[in-house]
Structure 1
Amino acid sequence: MDRLQHWLDQATDTAVGWLSSPAALMQFGLLIAAYILARLLARRFSPIVEKTLTPKPDSVHILARLSRFALQFLPLLLPLLAYALTALGEGLTRATFGSGEVIAFGKRVFLFLAAVELVRKVLPPGFLKLMGRYVLLPVMALHALGFLDDATTRLDAAQVNLGNIQFTALSLIRGLIAGSLLFWLGSWSNRQSAGYLKAQPDLRPATRELAIKASEVAIFGAAFLLLMSIMGIDLTAVAVLGGALGVGIGLGLQQIAANFVSGIILLLEGQTTVGDYVELDGGEKGTIVKMTARACVLETFDGRWIVVPNEHFITTRVVNYSDQGSANRYEALFSVSYETDINLVPDIIEGAVSKLPFVLQAPDGPDCELRGFGESSVDFAVEYWVAGIDDGKNKYGSPVLFAIWNALKEAGIEMPYPHRVVELRNAPAI
């Protein structure tokens, strides 16, 4: 309270001194004139700047995006013009009267007003607006009142010790602010780079995923090192921490490290990538929809997601139905009775299956094969190629079986069912 009273008394004495000084009154007049002139200039040039920078609605090139970005800062034109004119007036005042405290205070106020407009009208809702409201505005207010240097001096004098690491309260606050901004910027840069890489059609999916992960590691690694430098932390301590982390990985995080390295190998080889339909030895099968540093996510035909560690793709046998192309061969089993002329069956079935729109003629057309002589039927199978993966033998298998049934019915060929002969011994005579 005593310090606050001292500051209030000092502010009162300064205000009284300004009001009683002709030089100070002259500076107040220059401030008012600078604001009025800045307002007139802003009113005059704002429509011109807006018309010049506004691109066509359908423009998407880099200059159009830069113009739209620059237009967001148009509300800052008035306070920045007032700041610039006040800076010119400050030089004139100091040359004439040898002092310029009042006009310097006004210049800082105009800069604070620019920060207010930036937070209110320019920064988007979310993290940046939150940082502007609770960090930028208080700092600019202290700067406008002339208390910023005193506050930074006191914070810089306060020491904080964490083991062998020493830093000041000012560096801690600066690190929190800079860390928040750096990692927000890193997250934004990572999203932008990932979007750009995903939009490149010339890159293989595996190369694309590897480039995305490499850019993510590089961005956040650079942000971490820059943050350490801003906070003034000696990087040798980080090296010691890295060595301890390496020991921890070797002792307790072997599986995580193995999965991470396996993920890198998968991306480098490119034999398994997003969009492939795979089947593992453990029975997991589905389409790869996502590859992370630790695991691959498989989506089954019924919409379920299976998370499979990357190590399983390296150490076990993996059947990839999509790696060599989209064509896959399937077969449909059927039987006919022993009264059938089986020499006619292949032509009938192959012709019926060939008419289905999804059946391919290359690398081979439908092939009907005799598989064996059963207890009650002659067993056949027709093999066919399709462009894609069968949905649990329902996507293509069901239409093929319908085609076989209709073709056999149309040809008058019977599909048998089991027959049994029952012999009754010692049965009474009828």
Structure 2
Amino acid sequence: MDFDLTNQPEIVQQAYAYVLQGWEIAHEWLVSPAAWSQFGLLAAAFLLAWLLTRRLRPWLTRVLTPEASRQSLLASTRRFLLIFVPLLLPLLAWAFTGIGESLTRAIFNSGAVIAFGKRVFLLLAARILVREIVQDGFLKVLGRMILLPVMALYAVGLLDVATERLNELTVSLGNIEFTLMSVIRGIIAGSILFWLGRWSNDQTGAYIHKQEDMRPATRQLAAKAAEFSIFGLAFLLLMNIVGIPLTSLAVLGGAIGVGLGLGLQKIASNYISGIILLLEGQATVGDYVELDSGEAGTIVKTTARAMILETYDGRWIVVPNEDFITTRVINYSDQGSANRYEAPFSVSYKTDINLVPDIVEAAVAKHPGVLDTPYPPDCELRGFGDSGVDFAVEFWVNGIDDGANKYTSDVLFLIWNALKDHDIEIPYPHRVIELQHPTESPAPEAQEA
């Protein structure tokens, strides 16, 4: 395989040199007894790993699978470890191959073949990781485009050469200078760090929200503080991995400060207002609020910038946090406080109205949602209408009379049935029409006379 490539481009000559080097290594392995023994050890290591995997995988799956109803931190950790069970075969093969490598180097003073096998098993582990374990779309694409090619270069022994070439290529951004290898390393490390950060944030947030002893606003504040801490730490680690000194970010920090002072005042105000709301607990998830602008709904989500309100017709309203600080807000829920409503009705003038309050109050008190405190149901005489005597019953409930709760409707049904049971007539409008006949005028003939 001796060709004259002096007139060809440099990249073709280098590729030919690598092919020639690979051919020489393969030829040496094929005629070497030490190489054949290492191939045998690789086969034996893989077979042993396969047999152990058949026995260990069902046991590990059974041990790491928690009950579906359990949502504790330990159960979540077990579910997380369960997704890595498919890596058992290549990792066991890699471990057994490592043991065989130490033996062959001690006996033959050579272990190139078995070292190549170890790298191949790691390539298989990376392939399983990308295809079966990683579910996030971005990480899956990243694994296919970067991780698998890197592991393939490592398996064939060209990773050091590629790393050296990437380290020679530098990129300058103002006063910051870094190599192309740093960019690739930063993308890989950043993706892993922020993926782990997102998972850690989800687990931490779920754990904090289960602490019923804490006030809802305190839970929200703790969850936000944990989120900022986790991703802040991930960002600092990423800067360290990429090799960018934090002092070089001073200019960027100054630019951000100027931006906050000029164009980002509203955003900064909303962020600060969100922190104040979490600290004071004026409005939190689950509260039904009405803004001064007339917008009303239940708070379903709080973010660093805005509150998300859900109306009873299914619409979501994004309200900036600043509006909760600078305008009047009516909080109907206030973390479980009672609200008062009233249901108007009328009875006939033929009714003994002295009996109505006791009958109606007793009927309304039977509703499971009506409270005895701060006040029991109170039936009041409101006036004498055109068609009947007007009453209204006031009652207190925990919640809002809308959406899933129909308190006023239920109370009116109770009033109707109670009045019917006591033969009390509910009036409807009556109108009396008087027809007046005009006096007969004299006949035309008589007028002419």
Q: Bigger shift: 154-163 or 66-75?
A: 66-75
Amino acid across the alignment from 1:78: A
Deviation of 1:18 after TM superposition, in Å, equals 5.4
Distance 1:282 1:193 in 2: 36
Instruction: Give the 3-state SS of the residue equivalent to 2:346 in structure 1.
Output: strand
How many angstroms apart in 1 are the aligned matches of 2:321 and 2:221? 14
Give the equivalent residue in structure 1 for 2:117.
109
Unaligned runs of 5+ residues in structure 1 are 95-99
Which residue of structure 2 lines up, in the alignment, with residue 197 of structure 1? 208
Native 8 Å contact 1:30 1:86 kept in 2: no
Which of 165, 171, 176 is residue 182 of structure 2 equivalent to? 171
Per the alignment, residue 123 of structure 1 pairs with 133
1:276 aligns with 2:287: yes
Q: Distance in 1 between matches of 2:409 and 2:58?
A: 63
1:287-314 per-residue CA deviation (whole Å, 9 max, x = no partner) reads 1111111111112222222221111111
TM-score (norm 2): 0.82
Partner of 1:97: none
Matched-pair identity in %: 53
Query: Cα offset for 1:166?
Result: 0.8
What are structure 2's unaligned runs of at least 5 residues?
1-11, 442-449
Residues paired across the two proteins, number: 418
Contact 2:298 2:311 in 1 (8 A): yes
Q: Distance in 1 between matches of 2:18 and 2:336?
A: 78
Deviation at 1:206, TM superposition (A): 1.5
Trace 1:240-251 onto structure 2 (pairs within 5 A): 240-251=251-262
Q: Deviation digits for residues 295-347 of structure 1, max 9, x if unmatched?
A: 11112222222221111111222222222635321111233455544333322
Change (3 A) 1:36 1:363: same
Q: TM-score, normalised by structure 1?
A: 0.85
Equivalent of residue 90 in structure 1, options 105, 114, 118:
105
Q: Is 1:218 aligned to 2:232, yes or no?
A: no
Aligned positions of 1:1-16 closer than 5 A: 1-16=12-27
Alpha-carbon displacement from aligned partner over 1:222-254 (angstroms, at most 9, x marks no partner): 122211111212222322211211211121111
Tell me if the contact between 2:39 and 2:113 (Cα under 8 Å) persists in the aligned partners. no
1:354 to 365, 375, 398: 365
Q: Does the Cα contact within 8 Å between 2:386 and 2:429 map onto a contact in 1? A: no
List aligned pairs for 1:285-296, cutoff 5 A: 285-296=296-307
Q: Distance in 1 between matches of 2:335 and 2:47?
A: 70
Q: Provide, for residues 97-126 of structure 1, a one-character-per-residue CA deviation record: whole Å limited to 9, x for no partner.
A: xxx3xx224313322223214423763344
SS of equivalent residue, structure 2 residue 290: strand
How far the C-alpha of 1:78 sits from its partner, in A, is 2.1
Q: Distance in 1 between matches of 2:95 and 2:36?
A: 19
Listed one character per residue, the Cα deviations across residues 259-304 of structure 1 (whole Å, up to 9, x for unaligned) are 1111111111123111111222221222111111111111222222
2:267–2:305 contact (8 Å) kept in structure 1 = yes
Please tell me whether the aligned partners of residues 278 and 318 of structure 1 are also in contact (alpha carbons under 8 angstroms): yes
How do 1:7-406 residues align onto structure 2 when only pairs under 5 Å count?
A: 7-16=18-27, 25-43=32-50, 45-47=52-54, 49-50=56-57, 53=60, 55-56=62-63, 61=74, 68=82, 71-76=85-90, 77-94=92-109, 100=110, 103-120=111-128, 123-127=133-137, 128-323=139-334, 325-338=336-349, 340-374=351-385, 377-391=388-402, 395-406=406-417
State the alpha-carbon separation in 1 of the partners of residues 151 and 66 from structure 2: 39
Is the contact made by 1:55 and 1:68 (CA closer than 8 Å) also made in structure 2?
Answer: no
Per the TM alignment, residue 255 of structure 1 is displaced from its structure 2 partner at its CA by 1.3
> Secondary structure of 1:73's partner?
helix
Q: What is the SS of the residue equivalent to 1:358? A: coil
Quickly say closer, same or farther: Cα 1:54–1:7, change in 2 above 3 A.
Answer: closer
**Which letter maps to 1:33?**
G
Deviation of 1:51 after TM superposition, in Å, equals 6.5
2:83–2:133 contact (8 Å) kept in structure 1: no
- Amino acid in structure 1 at the alignment position of 2:377: P
Contact (CA 8 Å) 1:158, 1:169: kept in 2 or not?
Answer: yes
Contact 2:363–2:418 (Cα < 8 Å) also in 1: yes
State the shift of 1:214 in Å. Answer: 1.4
CA, structure 1 residues 370+313, in 2 after alignment: closer, same or farther (shift >3 Å)?
same
Structure 1 pair 401–13 and aligned structure 2 pair: CA distance change class (3 A): closer
* 1:134-184 alpha-carbon deviations (Å, 9 max, x no partner): 323322322233222221111111121122211111112211222222222
How far is 1:394 from its partner? 7.9
Q: Distance in 2 between matches of 1:43 and 1:338?
A: 92
Distance 1:394 1:78 in 2: 62
**1:377/1:48 CA distance change after superposition, 3 Å:** closer
